[in-house]
Structure 1
Amino acid sequence: MMTERYVEVDPGVELFVQDVGSGDSIVFIPGFTFTTEVFTHQVEHFSKTNRVIGVDPRSHGRSSITLEGNDYITHGTDLARVIDLLELKDVTLVGWSFGCLTVWEYLKQNGYDKVKSLIFIDMSPKALSTNHKEDWVEGPLNDIGAIYNTYLRNPAGQREFIKAYTTSVMVQRDVTEDELNWLVGQSLKTPYYIAANLFASGMFSDYREEAKEASETVPTMTIVADHWADTATTFTQKVSPKSSIEVLGGHLMFWEHSKKFNKLVEQFLSVEN
Structure 2
Amino acid sequence: MKPTDERSHESTDARTGRRLDGYGVLITGAGRGIGAATARRLTAEGARVLVTDRDADRAAATAETLPGARSFGCDVADRASVEAAVAYAVEHVGSLDVLVNNAHSCTPDAPLFEDEPDEDWALDLDITLTGAFRCARAALPHLVASGRGSIVMIGSVNGARDFGNHAYSAAKAGLAGLTRTLSGHAAPRGVRVNLIEPGTIHTPAWAGREAVLDRAAALYPLGRVCTPDDIASAVAFLASADASWITGVTLPVDGGILASDVGLRRAFRGAEL
TM bracket (short chain): 0.3 to 0.5
Normalising by the residue count of structure 1, what TM-score does the alignment of the two structures yield? 0.40
Rg (Cα) greater in structure: 2
Point out the structure with the larger strand share. 1
Normalising by the residue count of structure 2, what TM-score does the alignment of the two structures yield? 0.40
